[in-house]
A = this chain, B = another copy of it.
Amino acid sequence: MTRLDAVLDHVDANLDASLDRLFELIRIPSVSTEPQYAPDCRRAATWLADQLAGLEFDASVRDTAGHPMVVAHGPATPGPHVLFYGHYDVQPVDPLALWTTPPFEPSLAPQPDGETFILGRGASDDKGQLLTFIEACRAFKAVTGALPIRVSMLFEGEEEAGSPSLGPFLEANAADLKADTILVCDTDMWDRDTPAITTMWRGFVSEEFTITAGDRDLHSGMFGSAARNAVQLLGTIIGKLRNDDGSVAIPGFYDGVTELPEAIKAQWARLPFDSEKFLTDVGLSVPAGETGRSVLEQVWARPTAEVHGVWGGYSGDGFKTVIPAQASAKLSFRLVAGQDPDRIRTIFREFVQSLLPADCTVSFRAYASAPAEMMPLDGELLTKARAALTTEWNREAALAGTGGSIPILGEFKRRLGMDSLLIGFARFDNRIHSPNEKYDLSSFHKGIRSWVRILAAFGDKA
């Protein structure tokens, strides 16, 4: 029996212990966007550092202006040096009423099709996913006493908050964090049977803005129709953000946007993808994106504008016939290659200003932004990883895109010239950022096995 088979057997034999550790981590409510959970974010960081110290990593919790980082280094060995990146923070859980189990009390839910769901906030994004890599390292240590290559790890606690501290931290610790490539486990499989390596992702620009009309709320009986209504004005602006054909209406928004490379287009066309099911699985059936674009293009290769929340006027019990003086919205733009986030922020603000009557004002609050990225498709490590995944899943690994944004990897690319390998085992129905988030037990189990194979392949002399 080969060393590799022994490590894989160890993974299979110790899956319950791996699962117990995942449950421990999910029980820590490390919501990064809500200040009251700051101590829990630190607990999650400490938990990770302790786990890695137990695997003889040189692991430490590092303070930042926000939630702490975890940095861990394995012993130096010949061959490639990889830096695994993940995030221990999770999304808020509201609306809590829609959860069928408490979000921070993980549980297993066997499914009719034989799959078992791991339920809980962060089960998939990103606690379950990052543990697949740590558990793979644990198995190697247990069976062989060492890892086949040099491995470092970096975990942040602000990914769901736009990673405000990561840029500065990276700047201050560039030498310490430099490696040959970055490994990330925060993405989806192609489908439940087909593994995927994500080679392109969208950028984003996030904004909050508040419209002010008049200097006080007014009585709609006394002023109704003559006085400007801030909520109505906000609605008008939101309604004009996108055209009836689903495209974004801001002048100049598509400047610099190019068509998808033919190679990618062709490969995507070969992949099994049921765009109807993609929508019906979440209760929808009419694609809302640009007319004439496939759903895959809409979510991976095309930019968009999405409003994440609105508030203004009276929303309490009963009724209040007020003309609100203020109304606010949070929104973000998803960007593709060729779009400059700062420019998009500027033309969005000009667009809003252009829709304001002379007696109304708007204030903007800038949140995080990041450009889109596209990784080279011909690197040695990507080739080895793709082969390893193909072996484990017995299905050719897809080279995919993602509509999401992973700003920090753009930072690594620009600051340290490091490319990224995005290999994740989540499925598109994992309900991340939504109530009843889940991770498939098979994703967790075969994810650990996949990383074992990838680490072994990286260690082989080519």
Interface 9-mer from A128-136, A138-146, A210-218: A210-218
CA distance A127 to B349 in the complex (A): 45
Q: A91-B320, A308-B322, A319-B308 are in contact. Are A358 and B403 (CB under 8 A)?
A: no
B216 touches A282 (CB 8 A): yes
Q: A34-B316, A321-B332 are in contact. Are A231 and B226 (CB under 8 A)?
A: no
A241 touches B232 (CB 8 A): yes
Any B CB within 8 A of the CB of A459: no
B224 touches A403 (CB 8 A): yes
Specify how many copies of this chain sit in the oligomer.
2
Interface 9-mer from A9-17, A429-437, A445-453: A429-437
CB < 8 Å: which of B226, B328, B358 contacts A299?
B226
B304 touches A218 (CB 8 A): no
Q: Looking at the assembled complex, report how far the CB atom of A429 sits from the nearest CB atom of chain B, in whole angstroms.
A: 10
B35 touches A298 (CB 8 A): no
Find chain B residues with CB under 8 A from A273 CB: none
A225 touches B304 (CB 8 A): yes
Find chain B residues with CB under 8 A from A102 CB: none
Any B CB within 8 A of the CB of A154: no
- A311-339 CB mask vs B (1 if < 8 Å, else 0) is 11111111111111101111010100000
Find chain B residues with CB under 8 A from A34 CB: 316-318
Find chain B residues with CB under 8 A from A402 CB: 221-222
Q: A308-B320, A332-B220 are in contact. Are A288 and B240 (CB under 8 A)?
A: no
Q: A279-B226, A290-B225, A319-B367 are in contact. Are A220 and B33 (CB under 8 A)?
A: no
CB < 8 Å: which of B235, B295, B328, B332 contacts A238?
B235
- A280-321 CB mask vs B (1 if < 8 Å, else 0) is 001111111110000100110011101111111111111111
Any B CB within 8 A of the CB of A242: yes
Find chain B residues with CB under 8 A from A404 CB: 219, 221-222
CA distance A323 to B225 in the complex (A): 32
CA distance A218 to B125 in the complex (A): 13
Could you list 25 A-B pairs, sorted by A, with CB under 8 Å?
A33-B318, A202-B221, A202-B224, A204-B321, A220-B403, A223-B282, A223-B299, A225-B289, A225-B290, A227-B279, A228-B288, A229-B288, A231-B309, A231-B310, A232-B242, A238-B238, A285-B359, A288-B357, A306-B323, A308-B319, A308-B322, A309-B322, A310-B311, A311-B311, A321-B433
Q: Which 4 A-B pairs have the closest CB atoms?
A: A221-B404, A235-B238, A239-B239, A215-B283
